[in-house]
Amino acid sequence: MSEGYDLDRQLRHIFAGAKVLVTGHTGFKGGWLALWLHMLGADVRGVALPPDPDRSLFASLDLENLVEHRVADIRDEAQYAAATEGFAADLVIHMAAQSLVRPSYEDPLGTFGTNVMGTATVLEQVRRNPSARGVIVVSSDKCYENNEWHWPYREVDPMGGADPYSASKGCTELVASSYRRSFFSSANGCQLASVRAGNVFGGGDWSQDRLVPDIVRANLAGTPVIIRNPASVRPWQHVLEPLSGYLELGARLLGAEAGEFAEGWNFGPSADAFVQVKDLARGMQNAWGDDAAAIEFGQSADDPHEATMLTLDSSKARKLLAWSPRLTTDQAIDLTASWYRAFTQSGTDMRQFTLRQIETYAGSQKTEAPSQEGNIICA
């Protein structure tokens, strides 16, 4: 990463002193976002379920002593209202979710309850908050009806989903669209946008049944890692890539022309990051070093259905937000492997280590993405 456009300086100008409510701050993406917002000078309150008691980014960063930490289930309207009371947020970033495909088969009602009705609960509280100027609903690249085609999905493509998780994310987008048109349509009022990222990875993710955490656990245990669906293609990106997009979008929602940005947005990687699962796994093991675990490929007949082809078109964000990815796939893998390596070293201050990764990223120059014909990817 070379020095260039200083994203940090641009965002500090907007977020210093702003009151930002983040739901899901005890999760992986939410933890990175809460730390970044605090670094920018924002007054952050997080509302979420308790973090995993065994291992979590929330604990690694000691976020409980850095931001206002509130525990609540977004499916419980009274509980959520109590957790947000007294915090006059300028911006709400809703990230709390059931975020995994495989558990959605085990608990479809819980998945729909959290991702659909939980989103409605959060938006109800936002519209009762007269101080709110913007709200960002974070859904997923899997919100689109997946036709297994070979060109990236655009914001105008229909919502859908075969599995409960994907369908719940499509429903999340429909809820956000309904609230935007019904309650947040005033030019002078709070503005609502929704965002969809690719397959995100980075340091501090300990989720089950997710590729990079599974690899890290295998490396630490010295056991082979079993890779399902090795030929599946995903839009891989480091966690800081979409978060930078959310922050740039949030800055627009807090600006004078916020209404122009109250829409759905994709924040996916460059075309060279649309790679197969097996390629990302091998790249991660190469970055880990000589003591990396062996990779074995295998899939059980009982494994639930997951899409094999999924890519995103982010040309809208590139054109209208001047956003683009800053990292190559190799850089993203190296950042991730180095985070987990640092975690294993006794005495490492993981909050400071993570802050340094954010600072390096925010001060780096954007990478140039290869352009392609049509509306697929624009440089």
Q: What pLDDT shows up at residue 255?
A: 87
3-class DSSP assignment, residue 52 = coil
Q: What pLDDT shows up at residue 7?
A: 84
- Kindly report, residue by residue over 26-71, the tens digit of the pLDDT: 999 999 999 999 999 999 999 999 999 989 999 999 999 999 999 9
Q: What residue spans define the domains of the chain?
A: 7-362
Distance, CA of 322 to CA of 312 (rounded, Å): 17
Q: What pLDDT shows up at residue 376?
A: 27
The arithmetic mean of pLDDT across residues 187-193, rounded, is 88
CA dist 322 to 36, 317, 325, Å? 20, 6, 10
- Kindly report, residue by residue over 251-306, the tens digit of the pLDDT: 999 987 878 999 999 999 988 878 899 999 999 999 999 999 999 987 654 556 55
Residue 246 and residue 344 in contact, taking contact as beta carbons nearer than 8 Å: no
Q: What pLDDT shows up at residue 274?
A: 85
Task: State both tokens at 295.
Answer: 């990779």
User: Cβ of 376: how many Cβ atoms within 10 Å?
Assistant: 15
Query: In the predicted model, is pLDDT for residue 348 greater than 90?
Result: yes
Closest CA to 73 of 95, 49, 97: 49
Burial of 52 (0-12, 13-18, 19+ CB in 10 A): middle
Looking at the chain, the whole-number percentage of residues with pLDDT higher than 70 is 92
Distance, CA of 234 to CA of 236 (rounded, Å): 6
Q: What pLDDT shows up at residue 371?
A: 36
Predicted confidence band of residue 379 (pLDDT cuts 50, 70, 90): very low
- The amino acid present at 27, given as its one-letter code, is G
- The amino acid present at 141, given as its one-letter code, is D
Predicted confidence band of residue 367 (pLDDT cuts 50, 70, 90): low
Q: Is the model more confident about 266 or about 365?
A: 266
Full-model pTM: 0.91
Query: In the predicted model, is pLDDT for residue 134 greater than 60?
Result: yes
Q: Is the model more confident about 110 or about 1?
A: 110
Q: What pLDDT shows up at residue 68?
A: 98
7-362 has which CATH code?
3.40.50.720
Task: State both tokens at 330.
Answer: 């190799």
Predicted confidence band of residue 1 (pLDDT cuts 50, 70, 90): very low
Report which secondary-structure segment, H or E, holds 108: helix 108-112
CA quadruple 265, 313, 35, 71: dihedral sign: positive
Predicted confidence band of residue 242 (pLDDT cuts 50, 70, 90): very high
Q: What pLDDT shows up at residue 373?
A: 29
Q: What pLDDT shows up at residue 151?
A: 79
Q: Is the model more confident about 139 or about 375?
A: 139
Residue 20 and residue 90 in contact, taking contact as beta carbons nearer than 8 Å: yes
Q: Is the model more confident about 344 or about 305?
A: 344
Distance, CA of 178 to CA of 191 (rounded, Å): 13
Distance, CA of 116 to CA of 75 (rounded, Å): 9
Q: What pLDDT shows up at residue 364?
A: 72
Q: What pLDDT shows up at residue 372?
A: 32
CA dist 277 to 145, 242, 298, Å? 21, 20, 12
Task: State both tokens at 45.
Answer: 């309150």
Residue 258 and residue 134 in contact, taking contact as beta carbons nearer than 8 Å: yes
Mean pLDDT score of the chain? 89
Q: Is the model more confident about 211 or about 4?
A: 211
Q: What pLDDT shows up at residue 150?
A: 73
Please give the backbone phi and psi of residue 68, each rounded to the nearest 5 degrees, phi first: -70, 115
